[in-house]
Chain A
Amino acid sequence: MSAPVLELRDVSRVHGSGDTAVHALRGVTLSVGARELVAVMGPSGSGKSTLLQLAGGLDAPTSGNVLVEGTDLAALSKRDLAAVRRRSVGYVFQDLNLIPALTAVENVMLPRELDGVRSRAARAEALTALEEVGVADLADRFPDEMSGGQQQRTAIARALVGPRRLVLADEPTGALDSQTGEAVLRLLRARCDAGSSGVLVTHEARHAAWADRVVFLRDGTMIDETGYATPVEALLGERR
Chain B
Amino acid sequence: MSIRHGLLALLERGPRYGYQLRSEFESATGTTWPLNVGQVYTTLARLERDGLVRPVGEADADGRVTYLITDTGRAEVASWFATPVQRADRPRDELAIKLALALTTPGVDIRAVVQTQRTATLRSLQDLTRLKVRAGEDDHAWLLVLEAMIFQAEAEVRWLDHCESRLARLGRLEPITEQAPVPTRAREDAR
Contacts and interface: CB of A to CB of B under 8 A. Distances in A.
Interface string A6-34: 00000000000000000000000000000
Interface in B115-153: 115, 118-119, 121-123, 125-131, 133-134, 150-151, 153
B31 interface: yes
A205 B122 contact: yes
B125 A232 contact: no
Given A205-B157, A214-B126, A236 B134 contact: yes
Contacts of A206: 125, 129, 150-151, 154
B104 interface: no
B63 to A, nearest CB: 26
A189 B154 CA distance: 19
Interface string B161-188: 1001100000000000000000000000
A208 interface: yes
A232 B131 contact: yes
A216 B131 contact: no
B123 A226 contact: yes
Contact of A209 (B122, B158, B161): B122
B126 A239 contact: no
A225 interface: yes
Interface in B51-94: none
A205 B31 contact: no
A179 to B, nearest CB: 12
Interface residues of A, number: 26
Contacts of A204: 154
A41 B129 CA distance: 17
A118 B87 CA distance: 63
Interface residues of B, number: 28
A43 B161 CA distance: 8
B119 A225 contact: yes
Contacts of B129: 206, 209-210
A226 B161 contact: no
Interface in A160-212: 186, 189, 203-206, 208-211
A209 B131 contact: no
Given A216-B119, A226-B119, A226-B126, A205 B154 contact: yes
A82 B31 CA distance: 52
Q: Interface centre among B121, B130, B133, by most A CB within 10 Å?
A: B130
B64 to A, nearest CB: 23
B125 A235 contact: no
A224 interface: yes
A91 B10 CA distance: 50
A186 B131 CA distance: 13
A227 B135 CA distance: 23
A43 B165 CA distance: 8
Contacts of B161: 43, 203
A232 B132 CA distance: 10
A116 B161 CA distance: 46
A72 B123 CA distance: 32
Contacts of B32: 239
Nearest to A213: B126
Interface of A: 41, 43, 186, 189, 203-206, 208-211, 214, 216, 223-227, 229-230, 232, 235-236, 239-240
6 contacts: A205-B154, A206-B125, A206-B154, A229-B130, A232-B130, A239-B30
